[in-house]
Amino acid sequence: MPSEPDYLGASLEKRFRTDIEPLLSEFCFGCHSEKRSKAGVSFEGLHNVFDMLAIEGDFWAARELINSHDMPPPDEPSPTDHQRQLINEWIDDVLSYYPADAEIDPGWFTIHRLNRSEYTNTLRDLLYLDDAHKVTGQLPPDDTGYGFDNIADVLSTSTLQVEQYLEAAERAIELALGPVVEVGAGPAPVRPIELGNGSNRLSRGGSFMYTNSEARAQIDVPVEATYELSIEAWGTRAGDDLPRAVILIDRKRIASFDVAGTQGDEETHTTRVTLGSGTHQVSVRFVNDFYIEGEGDRNLAIENITLAGPVPEEPIARTEGYRQILAPAHGALTTSDEHGAASAVLERFATRAYRRPVAAQELAGLLAVFRSARGAGDTFDPALRVALSAVLVSPNFLYRSVDNTASDDPGTRYELSGYELASRLSYFLWSSMPDDALLASAAAGTLAHPDELIMQAKRMLQDPRSEALINNFTGQWLLLRNLDGMEIDPDRFSTFDESLKRDMENEARLCFADAVRGNRGILDLLDSDTTFLNERLAGHYGIPGVEGDAFRLVELPSESPRGGVLTMGAVLTVTSNPTRTSPVKRGLFVLDEILGTPPPPPPPDIPPLEQAAKQSGEHATLREQLQLHVSNPTCAACHRRMDPIGLAMENFDAIGRWRDTYSENQPIDASGSLPDGVIFNGPSELKDFLLSEPDRFLDNLTSKLLMYALGRGVEPFDRPTVHAISTRVREEGYNLQVLIEEIVRSEAFRTCRGKEGT
Amino acid sequence: MSRDTDHAGNQPPVESQWLGKPLSRRTVLRGLGVTMALPWLEAMASGSHALAGVASAASGTASAGLAAGGHPLRTAFIFAPNGVNYEHWLPTQGAGREFTLSPTLEAIAPVRDRVNVLTGLTLDKARANGDGPGDHARSAASFLTGQQARKTAGNDIQIGVSIDQFVAQQVGSKTSLPSLEMGCEHGRAAGSCDSGYACAYSSNVSWRDEDTPVAMQTDPRAVFERLFGDSDSKKARAERLRRRRSVLDYVLEDSRRLENGLGVSDRHKLDEFQTAVREIERRVSHAQESSPPLPDHDRPDGVPREIGAHIDLMYDMMLLAFRMDMTRLSTFMLGTAGSNRAYPELGIKEGHHNLSHHRGDADMIDKIRRIDRFRVERFAKFISDLQATPEGNGSLLDNCTILYGSGISDGNRHDHHDLPILLAGNGGGRIDTGRLVRYKRDTPLCNLYVSLAEQMGCQVESFGDSTGPLEGLKHA
């Protein structure tokens, strides 16, 4: 063990000196000092965090006894509930302190249900279905834990969820493969035939046209292909010409023919026509009516219109999903080995869906589903679709797992297989399934090598699918997803609309994406000379010279307070209330999301702020109202840290616009100081303060991204992992790409151990 | 078109609010005022054990879970977040049938004969009991469980089975859906929820077991399709059921194979999946055997923009499910615990939770009262609709017990005693309504659950922190 604790250890020691030791001295040293050490326990003379860890067992016991009010004994002076809580929280923190250079513990892997966005993206890639979100809209939202919605331990599975999976599987298959089409289908009558002026209904439903007229009908085709349109007609002859018919589709002339047939001896004219999917209007026109009294009467009768097809010789416009998934089967079908064809399709599909080779038993089960549907009367294509939808409801598709039967023994280590790593990597960077290249690397056995893993990661970050990492991570870390639900008062903030919300979100995402692509350092997320703006957002910020709707990189004017996430409209808005700013929420955001040191939750029975409001008068500023936090010792411990940070951002209103005064013409005081004496005034000095200890931010970002990558909460035992990653990132100049690579390279990512049985 | 607003006097008529064709409330409630075939009889006749239940009930004695006449009993729990403004809630004058409605409860005047106002009931497990802050999360978590939630941000959630699920697990197999869970909003999308409590605690009142919440639906269209499917013909539905059955068989088999390669904690996770699959298999078999009728009305178009219309439509769905005996248990969260929704249609732009901590500000208190009253108005309208729906010789409401309440009494103080609780409907003649019933302070709310579970035909010794059944549901 080192003799010097790191900064976390140092801060625990500092808290001990200022907050805890005085309490122990007041309530405990009477019996548990170096001199008396009743029951062999003394809390005196603890010089550093290692001294404290040395009496771990005593602290555990003390925590229990303090909590149950058995200590101090009833006849001794008793701490308040809040003081008990302070002591216990500190004990928790000390006991969960891992020195940064302790041995690496990779943690466990819990079977991981795909969350909503992972499921949607996976359907997209598996089924070649760009609008997969259309079928996943009704899935219940995912449970969140640690601020993320991809935490395996937290993601539960309800009946409703599985019902929706079943529903979504059926819809997705239909959408992806297109409707079931019977190629080479025989002629089917098109009904009803509508009559034009100058015609009569024939007994079988057709049209008898005694002047130039038109018979019309609607035809509905499932897929773009070539069909055979047949017209059964006869005529009455007069004059020199035969009755002439013209066929139009959607009012466009496609063919014409003379009708020589007569009633009882009808003739059928067949035309091939290529039709797009959907509804079309077919018309048959009689164009050469002839009538001279005594000389004769030329008329045209249409008895029947039929449509056959699609014809097998001509191309059929299939969906990409159909071509990729089902079409190979139809090739195989020509050998009339239906079973073999189904087997080939299912094996290929299930291998991609399960993200690993499919087992013989699994394939046999899928074929049984296919056979059962065939047996019940479904034709080949629909029966195969039933089996394909079964794949999409299989737990092997819906869950990612690792094949570690010893997963209840914390003492065992397990190295993820190539396929398991491929999934872990692709769900981290793409929130989706591995692509063929990644699966090929897994199959070849090369992925287990860290260099290959990193190479794949680099390749994947260049792929557009890595947008998922940017959206899902920033959406949760920076609370961007909360923007949607913000009910900002439209009277006070009339410019706040959907477009502005989207713009705010875009700015934050583009800056993070810029860092992911290596153009922007991690510390640039705290403060930067540039940002991404369009005209509307620039106007919102009061920055001139940006025109148009498109976002572009903008060099910020030197006097601009913007740059970095804290001064982005998105962050400033989600940390506000509907009608006003909330310095408390902004302070909390910095402590929690930036520094990773969230204060403990507020104590119970918070006294109402009524007195404060009365004392400080009707027009008390927010700062004056917040003063009460500091005058009340229960609140002060945390609010002395939160409130000044939030107040430093008071020049930004509840939707992030700059202001010099409150609307009541009260000037804004954005100065503040922290308990340890740090003084700042306004957002720029606040940023300078945060940048003065860059490693706190780095450690926090590492923890958050590691949590997201592993899909589990980061625990105290992860500290050495976080430390090792952060150290590398610092050496490489705070580069976000390096952070991602180091996470992928870490033992926590590539291996796991068992978890204590529950 | 406009919607009925007869019980919402201060509400402007609601204009067409959805994309596409608006749903006529009349269409949804087409059954109102019309004596219709009782689908539940049809459904029950196909299962012999259920038939026995009808026979014994028809012979005159009201057996457990059924009313005299053989009509099934239904029970629902409505959760209202953030408590109420207690001064305006509590009736101060009178007791029993003779009492004066408080300003907020004046909204139940049209149906007061069919509602009991209960005071003095307590949810002790929503209190800190050493766990510090987080009253909102606890108020939802313990509302129907009567258990203390383990304080955790996610990894090791622990609470307990909720009363609706407890009952559903015993009697739910008689209907297509054992229970129906609905809400008007889902939990927050990002960040943590309440003072170190996982969002699951704030966003759910229904719990299948100690760590598995039962997901709810917030889109009335989705509720409708869950109840009736999206096929329009019986033939299409039969084919779909046949295919689904075969898919589920495979999935269960696949899941057993997967299980063999997993450790205990992973198996527990997979268990949730298997339980769900088995439950859906049961539903599919039930539907294949009983071939329930097609719904007699249009499907809703989606989530109405205005909260009042949304609440009404969810109540409509509950009524429909009860009327057609698709389920006998339902929960409905008007909002998640600590909901900070604004009520623009009431002219209230501030968030509800923020308002609830009103610091004595008269304007804020007034807004809270208006929200309270608005919520009770929607409830009263629902009760009135149940009453207007015929069943047998009486109304559907005769055979319902609908609890409305919050796990917090006064939102400004976060108390968990003297909870605001309304109990509507007559439970098949087991409950006398129209009364103000004052219970001794700190009477467990769970005592009421014991009584309701017994009424539904469950074996129940105790539930949560109950000390026995609740007295006084019948007039002395």
pLDDT score for A407: 67
pLDDT score for B24: 37
Which residues touch A494 (CB under 8 Å, ≥6 apart)? none
Across the interface, whether the CB atoms of A395 and B273 are under 8 A apart is answered yes
Residue A355 to residue B339: CA distance in whole angstroms: 40
Residue A576 to residue A585: CA distance in whole angstroms: 7
pLDDT score for B152: 80
Q: What is the pLDDT of residues A423-446, one digit of tens each?
A: 999 999 999 999 999 999 999 999
Q: Which of A481-485, A672-676, B76-80, B332-336 has the lowest mean pLDDT?
A: A672-676
Max CA pair span of chain A: 139
Cβ neighbours, 10 Å, residue B19: 9
Please give the sequence-ordered ranges of beta strands (E in DSSP) within B288-353, or none if there are none: 329-333
Residue B188 to residue B109: CA distance in whole angstroms: 35
Which residues 486-515 of chain A have a CB within 8 Å of chain B? 487, 489-491
pLDDT score for B165: 96
Q: What is the pLDDT of residues A613-669, one digit of tens each?
A: 455 555 667 787 788 777 777 777 788 889 999 999 999 999 999 999 887 778 899
pLDDT score for B42: 32
**Burial of residue A253, with CB atoms counted within 10 A of its CB: 0-12 exposed, 13-18 middle, 19 or more buried:** exposed
Assess contact for A267 and A260: CB atoms under 8 A.
yes
Round to the nearest angstrom and report the end-to-end CA distance of chain B. 48
Tokens at A503, concatenated: 């713009």
pLDDT score for B192: 56
Q: Does A147 contact B at CB distance below 8 Å?
A: yes
Which residues touch A653 (CB under 8 Å, ≥6 apart)? A493, A576, A581, A659
Using CB atoms, pick whichever of A362, A369, A482 lies closest to residue B190: A482
Between A110 and A70, residue with greater pLDDT: A110
pLDDT score for A497: 92
- Enumerate the residues of chain B whose CB falls inside 8 A of the CB of residue A610: 359-360
3 state SS of B331: strand
Cβ neighbours, 10 Å, residue B261: 15
Percent of chain B topping pLDDT 90: 56
What is the 3-state secondary structure of B178-232?
Answer: CCEEEECCCCCCCCCCECCECHHHHHCCCEEECCEECCCECCHHHHHHHHHCCCC
- Enumerate the residues of chain B whose CB falls inside 8 A of the CB of residue A404: 261, 263
Using CB atoms, pick whichever of A373, A394, A610 lies closest to residue B243: A373
pLDDT score for B196: 76
pLDDT score for B132: 78
- Enumerate the residues of chain A whose CB falls inside 8 A of the CB of residue B243: 373, 378, 386, 389
Q: Which of A564-568, B226-230, B278-282 has the lowest mean pLDDT?
A: B226-230
Across the interface, whether the CB atoms of B250 and A394 are under 8 A apart is answered yes
Tokens at B423, concatenated: 């109990």
Please give the sequence-ordered ranges of beta strands (E in DSSP) within B91-205, or none if there are none: 94-95, 98-99, 115-122, 180-183
Across the interface, whether the CB atoms of B263 and A404 are under 8 A apart is answered yes
3 state SS of A446: coil
Q: Which of A83, A84, A115, A158 is most worth mutating to test chain B (most B CB atoms within 10 A of its CB)?
A: A158
Q: What is the pLDDT of residues A288-299, one digit of tens each?
A: 999 988 888 999
Which residues 366-385 of chain A have a CB within 8 Å of chain B? 366, 368-369, 372-373, 376, 378
The mean predicted confidence, pLDDT, of chain A is: 90
Assess contact for A532 and A538: CB atoms under 8 A.
no
Assess contact for B392 and B448: CB atoms under 8 A.
no
- The answer, yes or no, to whether residue B30 has pLDDT greater than 70, is no
Tokens at A393, concatenated: 């409801």
Percent of chain A topping pLDDT 70: 95
Q: How far is C-alpha B358 from the geometric centre of its chain's CA atoms?
A: 29
Q: Which of A228-237, A256-265, A658-667, A725-734 has the lowest mean pLDDT?
A: A658-667
pLDDT band at residue A183 under the 50/70/90 scheme = confident
3 state SS of A2: coil
Q: Of A669, A629, A643, whose CA–CA distance to A590 is shortest?
A: A643
A431 residue type, one letter: S
Between B400 and A82, residue with greater pLDDT: B400
Tell me the HSE value of A404 on the side-chain side, using a 13 A CA sphere: 27
Residue A438 to residue A425: CA distance in whole angstroms: 9
Assess contact for A109 and A402: CB atoms under 8 A.
yes
Q: Does B168 contact A at CB distance below 8 Å?
A: no
Q: Which of B127, B136, B179, B258 is most worth mutating to test chain A (most A CB atoms within 10 A of its CB)?
A: B258
3 state SS of A609: coil
pLDDT band at residue B4 under the 50/70/90 scheme = very low
Assess contact for B388 and B380: CB atoms under 8 A.
no
Residue of chain A whose alpha carbon sits nearest to that of B276: A159
Tokens at B247, concatenated: 């898919």
Q: What is the pLDDT of residues A566-601, one digit of tens each?
A: 999 999 999 998 888 999 999 999 999 999 888 766
- According to DSSP, the β-strands at A399-400 and A252-258 are unpaired
Residue B121 to residue B422: CA distance in whole angstroms: 11
Residue of chain B whose alpha carbon sits nearest to that of A66: B130
B113 Cα to chain A: minimum distance (Å) = 37
The mean predicted confidence, pLDDT, of chain B is: 83
Please report which helix (H) or strand (E) contains residue B453, including its range.
helix B445-455
Max CA pair span of chain B: 66
- According to DSSP, the β-strands at B421-424 and B400-405 are antiparallel
Using CB atoms, pick whichever of B130, B132, B257 lies closest to residue A361: B257
- The answer, yes or no, to whether residue A552 has pLDDT greater than 50, is yes
Assess contact for B254 and A396: CB atoms under 8 A.
yes
Which residues 395-434 of chain B have a CB within 8 Å of chain A? 412, 414
Q: What is the pLDDT of residues A202-214, one digit of tens each?
A: 999 999 999 999 9
ipTM: 0.84
- Enumerate the residues of chain A whose CB falls inside 8 A of the CB of residue B254: 362, 365, 394-396
A517 Cα to chain B: minimum distance (Å) = 25
Chains A–B, number of C-beta pairs less than 8 Å apart: 246
- What phi and psi values does residue B347 have, to the nearest 5 degrees? 75, 25
Q: What is the mean pLDDT of residues A336-352?
A: 92
Assess contact for A565 and A522: CB atoms under 8 A.
no
Q: What is the pLDDT of residues B286-345, one digit of tens each?
A: 888 877 777 776 788 889 999 999 999 999 999 999 998 999 999 999 999 989 889 999
Tokens at B364, concatenated: 């804020």
pLDDT score for A603: 60
Q: What is the mean pLDDT of residues B181-208?
A: 81
Across the interface, whether the CB atoms of B265 and A394 are under 8 A apart is answered no
Which residues 208-227 of chain B have a CB within 8 Å of chain A? 208, 211-217, 219, 222, 225-226
C-alpha angle B404-B409-B413 in degrees, rounded to nearest 5 = 155
Q: Of B30, B25, B21, whose CA–CA distance to B296 is shortest?
A: B30
Q: Which of A127-131, A351-355, B149-153, B168-172 has the lowest mean pLDDT?
A: B149-153
CA dihedral B6, B12, B16, B17 (to 10 degrees): -110
pLDDT score for A651: 95
Between A94 and A608, residue with greater pLDDT: A94
Using CB atoms, pick whichever of B156, B208, B265 lies closest to residue A757: B265
Q: What is the pLDDT of residues B34-93, one digit of tens each?
A: 333 333 333 333 333 333 333 333 333 446 677 767 899 999 999 999 999 999 999 988
Q: Of B402, B259, B265, B210, whose CA–CA distance to B321 is shortest?
A: B402
Q: Does a cis peptide bond (omega within 30 degrees of 0) precede residue A192?
A: yes
Cβ neighbours, 10 Å, residue B354: 17
pLDDT score for A677: 82
